[in-house]
Amino acid sequence: MVGESGFDVAWTAAGDTQIELVGTSGVDVSKHAVDRRTSARFRGLAPGRTYRYRLSAGGRMRAEHDVRTAPPAGTPFRFVALGDSGSASPEQLAIAARMADARPDLIVHTGDLIYPKGTPTEYGRKFYQPYQAMIVSIPFYPCIGNHDYSADEGRPMLEEFILPENGPAGETPERHYWFDYSHVRFVAIDSNIPRQRLADVVAPWLDSVLAEADRRGLAKVVFFHHPPYSSGPYGGTHRMRLTIVPALDRHRAELVLNGHNHAYERTQPLRGGVIVAANEGTVYVTTGAGGGELYEPAAMPEPELAKSHYGKHSFTVVDVDATRMVVRQINIEGVIVDEFDIPLRAAATSRPAA
């Protein structure tokens, strides 16, 4: 987890382990250990600066990596998104290598990190090994997929990550959360919970989080597993259209990222389920081809579908500047299969440090 004024690091090791920032003094550091897992929180850092952390044990250096704090609002950045990856397949490894080549500032995952049932013992082979070159330095923000949820309602996944604890009251911490990076507010939702909880608890919280983003002039990216609109075999998820989409419409979120259907799909800009002008609606992207078995498209595409890519694994690259997002879908062969712009309705403005 990364903010403007600091970052968190978590690791697993036997015995006592020390962590320090190389060549930096006067930093607020707190450390917490449970069983073999240890985490450290660094605060009091400068925004947009690269810091090197060092792990050591028994008087020997074990690892040393660089992390960049979140930059001030208005700073261009790149993030990548993918979903439905956790199979340990050759395709997952190939997509991971393509992602690393893109050199993102952060990674968003739209769920289903571990197939088939989110088992904790599978994280080494199906998550840490494929992404080890990136996650030592690049923040990784997941949401819970249905396969992750099948293991104790996603709690094993939540235990693997350090995520913001700013979700709705009464919900498990980290299940839903938000964070700001440069001039974009990212919001993660667990779309597996019952419809009534989505309507009564999550939707009002989402409304307030997006309203605050509006007041601060931030663009809005929301990600959750089940797509409200899709031409894939599962189709769109009706309960998400009923409970979550109204808040997205009210605040005109620029981009929504989903998974679940194992393919790539992009809608036209939508508001109230109706196609509207680019600066008036929300674009919904299903990026569910991160490594799992691929799906076939439905016989009749939905009318809101603008572009799709079936039959090959892929991931999403988003470049953000002060006025727009440039979104590209790149397949396993490195081919750009879709590219489009999303105008940012809110001008990038300065904001308090995270």
- Give the C-alpha separation, 329 to 308, whole Å: 10
35 has a pLDDT exceeding 70: no
pLDDT digit string, tens, across residues 81-130: 999 999 999 999 999 999 999 999 999 999 999 999 999 999 999 999 99
Contact 99, 82 (CB under 8 A): yes
Residue 26: pLDDT band (50, 70, 90) is low
Q: Give residues with Cβ within 8 angstroms of 48, minimum separation 6.
A: 4, 68, 69, 70, 71, 72, 75
Phi, psi of 286 (to 5 degrees): -95, 115
How high does pLDDT run on average in the chain? 93
Plot region of 337 (φ>0 → left; ψ -120 to 50 → alpha; else → beta): alpha
Chain segment 230-285, per-residue pLDDT in tens: 999 989 999 999 999 999 999 999 999 999 999 999 999 999 999 999 889 999 99
pLDDT of residue 36: 67
Per DSSP, the three-state class of 182 is coil
Residue 351, pLDDT score: 44
Q: Which of 27-31, 58-62, 100-104, 298-302 has the highest mean pLDDT?
A: 100-104
Spatial separation of the C-alpha atoms in residues 124 and 345, rounded to whole Å: 41
Percent of the chain with pLDDT over 70: 96
pLDDT value at 354 more than 50: no
Q: What is the pLDDT of residues 186-196, one digit of tens each?
A: 999 999 999 99
- pLDDT on residue 352: 41
Of the listed ranges 99-113, 127-141, 288-302, 305-319, the least confidently predicted one is 288-302
pLDDT at 353: 37
Length of the chain: 354
Cis geometry, peptide bond prior to residue 297 (ω within 30 degrees of 0): no
Looking only at the bridges linking them, the beta strands covering 324-331 and 336-343 are antiparallel
What residue ranges in 166-263 does DSSP mark as E strands? 177-181, 184-188, 219-223, 255-258
Nearest Cα neighbor of 287 from 306, 264, 310 is: 264
**Per residue in 147-164, pLDDT tens?**
999 999 999 999 999 999
In 3D space, the residue among 245, 197, 199 whose CA is nearest the CA of residue 222 turns out to be 245
The overall pTM is greater than 0.75: yes
Q: CA distances (Å), 15 to each of 8, 12, 56, 132, in order?
A: 20, 10, 11, 22
The pLDDT value recorded for residue 3 is: 96
Per cent of the chain over pLDDT 90 is: 85
